Structure 1
């Protein structure tokens, strides 16, 4: 028997935008045909540098354009994929502050503290 309010209930009541944010340029999609051996070598190289094959291709193309003096003046940055960087936690004072240092009475078996 179904509950009133639909199968998902109120969990899915808010729409989520699917368009990129206005400050980011849309990425151009290109179909690329490669020799299988070339692709395998490229994929191994990408894995060695912890990149995807697609980002390795873009990295190499940008490097080749820069070396030839043909890189556009203001290309967009290479997109960073994966988990966003952790923001540092806000600094909070310690729960129990350390006891203040005091100079106590002289110890009978040694020099005075302080």
Structure 2
């Protein structure tokens, strides 16, 4: 855990979050600034700065949890988008790896 990391503080319970899914290794919670009708963030509980820092087991756990969230939120049939922003130019603002699960509307391309 990194004390100055918002997502580490959410994992520790010192910052509240509306939890959508939790396992021993990952936490999924609703984004406070949603960019779609459904916008859930899936994070590993252990601090990793970017997606490239994840080992295959943790990366798999994040993706599995993202799919679980999509199904639980009713997105699996119509479709959803998974997004990892990496680095400042990639749009990452919290430097604890996180997967955005976005859905509930038609997604456009290119995304941004």
The TM tier, using the shorter chain, reads under 0.3
- Structure with greater contact order relative to length (CA < 8 Å, sep ≥ 6): 2
TM, length-normalised to structure 2: 0.22
Bigger radius of gyration, 1 or 2? 1
TM (norm. structure 1) is 0.21
